[in-house]
Structure 1
Amino acid sequence: MPTTRRQAAIHEGRIKKEDPHPVKKRASHKKAKSEDHGKVEPPAKGKKPASKAAAGKKRGADEAEIEEKPHRKRAPSKAKSPSKRVRVSEDEGSEDQSSLYQSGTIERGHIYFFYRPKVEVEDVESIDEVKNLHMLLIPRPPEFLSASEGDGKGTKTDPSKTEEAEMTLLTRGADAVPAAPVTRNTSKQHYRLITVGKKKLPDPEAKGRHEVFWGTVTSIGDDLLDLVEGLGPKTYETKTRGTRHDGAARLLARGGYAIVNTEAQVPSKRETHLGYHISHPSSSEMGDVQASLGVSSSSSFVVQVKNPRAPATVPSMRHIKETEYSEEIMKKVFGAGTKGRQSFGLRFASVETPELLDHPNAQLLFVAAREGSQGLETSLGEGRGEALEKAEDKEASRRVEDVFKELGLDTEIFLPDALEGKWA
């Protein structure tokens, strides 16, 4: 885990890490000639001196090799140790180049849970009258970077102050704490809506094998107005039953989340954990709504992504259109043609990069991991669970009206009762 803001910035890819072993520039030909003037060494015994043409070819090969690596300066041919260091670093990075896996916190943000009533049901009284359960993820940068980002109005920051902020020591788990919700007057935010298959989250405390559930990425966008329209009420016509009405979705919980990839020695040991802590409602206000739909104050899951080319393992998922990933993802994540027993590669993979989640119809497998504050910390590790819980407990002081304004929801249409633990 990065411990300073500069290290975190390097981990995020915003700035480049300086080379601790800069390679010296090659001395010019003219200078080398003047230094060696008068010093003629005989050729090695049994070895013919290289011709000018051969030397030119060798020099051209060296220059071609250097052109492929524009960020490195040419090193003199006699400086063997720097060239060795370069080769070692390239060999160590070769595995990273063949994989998209990112360890540590790969995403954090705000999480919202909604349920939609069944068709023609106005007032929901139990889970039997629930049609769908939705999980909304809105990614945000880390909180410790929000100050340097400004308010999004294009104000310039002092470079010296930014560098000083980057060198400030970070508290444990700071990379899992999301920046505050966007409060300025804009609907432009990236979002990801996941529909839960069984209408409720699995129970981590259930006896026997860990419960699992499927999720499908049903909506992705960069404008919350589109999201609000999709979650709103709908009226449509059918040939058999005439006019039908779907009520607006109900917001039942809001909090913060983090997605963390474990550091594993081998790819088969990689795991992706999604953990969340709820700010609204508070633990004392959790009611039958949250209990029935499996939403706890704190919980975590192991998340896997299904290979879209692998056959469906659940009959109910066979009718869902599979997503389409790039060939790079298919090869580097699922190992198409190189891993597994089938040509499509592995059936499931960890969330090696958030890009895997930003594809419509992506199918996700959630495995219940741990519940409660201790379970959240165990899953996310390195103080992330504690930091996330502390941050969301502070957010709990915000009014319910402010929570609805985060998403641009009208409380006259999207009833707030469920956020207070009551069915609506």
Structure 2
Amino acid sequence: MPTTRSGKEDNSLASTTDQAAGSKHQIDNTASPASKRTKKEDDDMEISGDDKIPSPTEAYGPGGAMERKQNGKDQAEGKQDTKYTEQRSKNGSSAVKKGERPGVPSNILEKGIVYFFFRGRVGIDEPEGVDDVARSYIVLRPIDKDAKLGEGTIGDAGNSRLIAIPKKVLPQSGRERWIAFVEKTHTSFKTLKEEFLASNDYETKTAGTRHTPAATPVAEGIYAITTTGRESHLAYIITLPSGGLGEVQTEIGLKEKGSFIVSTRNPAYPPPGRQSLPGGPEYPKEIQDEFRSLRWIGTHPKHLDIVKTQFLLIGESSGIQKATEPQKKAEGNEEPIEELEKLEDEDMRRMEHLKGDDSASIYSDLEVHAKDYPKLQTTF
């Protein structure tokens, strides 16, 4: 079926200039955050339609991922299950080779493996176009900055993050600015399997049994969170699908090499469109102090380790050029683009040596059986 970017996508956030990405939202410290916010600012940042953060039932159905407990207080605060991590690290199965890549540029704040997914609308297991997609998701699996990738699967360090995007597609230009939020942090592949990847059936009073389809993989690759001083960027290079981007990847908004400006929202101020998650993120004082009087600051990896962090994804039409610009003050032996390209080459080689097709390779990485989940799609 011919598809276009969903007609429901609006640019209601477009009027928030690059100030939303960083340092120019200074507020008078003598006034409370809420009282200084003007009606025009509320209108400019208004979110409508698919931008709205879904309720747990809308996203997964009753008892789904968003309603399940986050392993008590530690999970809510974004703390890592160290026992699980130590257990996994001793089995020696990871392709991550620590300490073999010294001299990584200091303006690369984090690097790792990225997986892109979408979930079809309720009752639609096989979407035939973007309009059949409910939400998009990003899974980040960080690795050590000084690590390189060898052969085999990535291994589960229990440190994965699940990023939910209440949109059907990803932003591609500076005029497209979506709010995303951190749904899970320090997460095991077992938890992702049970609380994210799986489908779910639930009962409603009015419509009877409802079916939320399983998450469908769209692409896999490598990523880096970089800083260019005032701004932070999430840059990626796609490894799978191995045959190049298909219709699905293009419609979802992926590029072979792409990036987003990423800015974390200060929870002291009302959220755009007044859409927020119950409770909000529980930031430690260190992060609270970084906000000062700013509404937004450049996203740092530690922000993404806090459940319910909300951040702005701003599309970049220039690919990864701006995200990987070398910085004069940055330390390291190479430029950021060189590090990303090396990492992508290593990732491509290891994925080629995994058994099965592209789908099997992704699910092998995530330690689940490919036959139980949807295949990676390249066409609708």
TM-score, normalized by length of structure 1?
A: 0.58
- CA pair 320-179 structure 1, distance change in 2 beyond 3 A: farther
- CA pair 324-125 structure 1, distance change in 2 beyond 3 A: same
From 111, 115, 138, the equivalent of 1:112 is 115
CA contact (8 A) 2:222 2:347 kept: no
1:327 aligns with 2:294: no
SS of residue in 2 equivalent to 1:279: strand
Alignment partners' CA distance in 1, 2:141 and 2:100? 25
Q: What is the aligned partner in structure 2 of residue 272 from structure 1? A: 232
**Distance apart, 1:272 and its partner CA:** 0.9
**Distance apart, 1:203 and its partner CA:** 1.3
From 150, 172, 188, the equivalent of 1:223 is 188
**Distance apart, 1:365 and its partner CA:** 0.5
1:210 aligns with 2:210: no
SS of residue in 2 equivalent to 1:237: strand
- CA pair 226-388 structure 1, distance change in 2 beyond 3 A: same
Q: Deviations over 1:168-205 (max 9, x none)?
A: xxxxxxxxxx5458738x6443111111122211113x
Report matched runs for 1:11-410 at 5 Å: 104-142=107-145, 145-146=146-147, 179-180=149-150, 183=153, 187-204=156-173, 209-230=174-195, 231-263=197-229, 270-282=230-242, 284-315=243-274, 317-318=275-276, 321-331=279-289, 333-335=290-292, 345-351=293-299, 353-372=300-319, 374=321, 377-378=324-325, 383-397=335-349, 398=352, 399=354, 400=358, 401-410=360-369
State the one-letter code of the partner of 2:160: Y
Alignment partners' CA distance in 1, 2:309 and 2:205? 31
Q: What is the aligned partner in structure 1 of residue 36 from structure 2? A: none
Alignment partners' CA distance in 2, 1:108 and 1:271? 17
Alignment partners' CA distance in 1, 2:223 and 2:172? 18
CA contact (8 A) 2:121 2:134 kept: yes
CA contact (8 A) 1:273 1:300 kept: yes
CA contact (8 A) 1:141 1:179 kept: no
Alignment partners' CA distance in 2, 1:222 and 1:136? 10
**Bigger RCO of structures 1 and 2 (CA < 8 A, at least 6 apart):** 2
TM-score, normalized by length of structure 2?
A: 0.64
Q: Deviations over 1:287-338 (max 9, x none)?
A: 11111110111111111100112111224x246542121223212x112xxx
- CA pair 290-379 structure 1, distance change in 2 beyond 3 A: farther
CA contact (8 A) 1:116 1:248 kept: yes
State the one-letter code of the partner of 1:299: G
Alignment partners' CA distance in 2, 1:262 and 1:376? 7
Q: Deviations over 1:88-118 (max 9, x none)?
A: xxxxxxxxxxxxxxx6121110000000111
- CA pair 379-310 structure 1, distance change in 2 beyond 3 A: farther
CA contact (8 A) 1:302 1:369 kept: yes
Unaligned runs of 5+ in 1: 13-102, 147-177, 264-269, 336-344
1:414 aligns with 2:379: no
CA contact (8 A) 1:370 1:376 kept: no
CA contact (8 A) 1:301 1:367 kept: yes
CA contact (8 A) 2:277 2:308 kept: no
SS of residue in 1 equivalent to 2:371: coil
Q: Deviations over 1:98-155 (max 9, x none)?
A: xxxxx6121110000000111111221101111110011000013xx44xxxxxxxxx
CA contact (8 A) 1:370 1:379 kept: no
State the one-letter code of the partner of 1:183: T
Alignment partners' CA distance in 2, 1:296 and 1:189? 28
CA contact (8 A) 1:377 1:385 kept: yes
- CA pair 6-243 structure 1, distance change in 2 beyond 3 A: closer
Alignment partners' CA distance in 2, 1:417 and 1:324? 35
State the one-letter code of the partner of 2:219: A
The higher radius of gyration belongs to 1
SS of residue in 1 equivalent to 2:361: helix
Alignment partners' CA distance in 2, 1:110 and 1:6? 17
CA contact (8 A) 2:226 2:324 kept: no
State the one-letter code of the partner of 1:233: S
**Distance apart, 1:273 and its partner CA:** 1.4
C-alpha RMSD of matched pairs (Å):
2.9
Richer in helix (by share) = 1
Structure 1 range deviating more: 367-376 or 294-303: 367-376
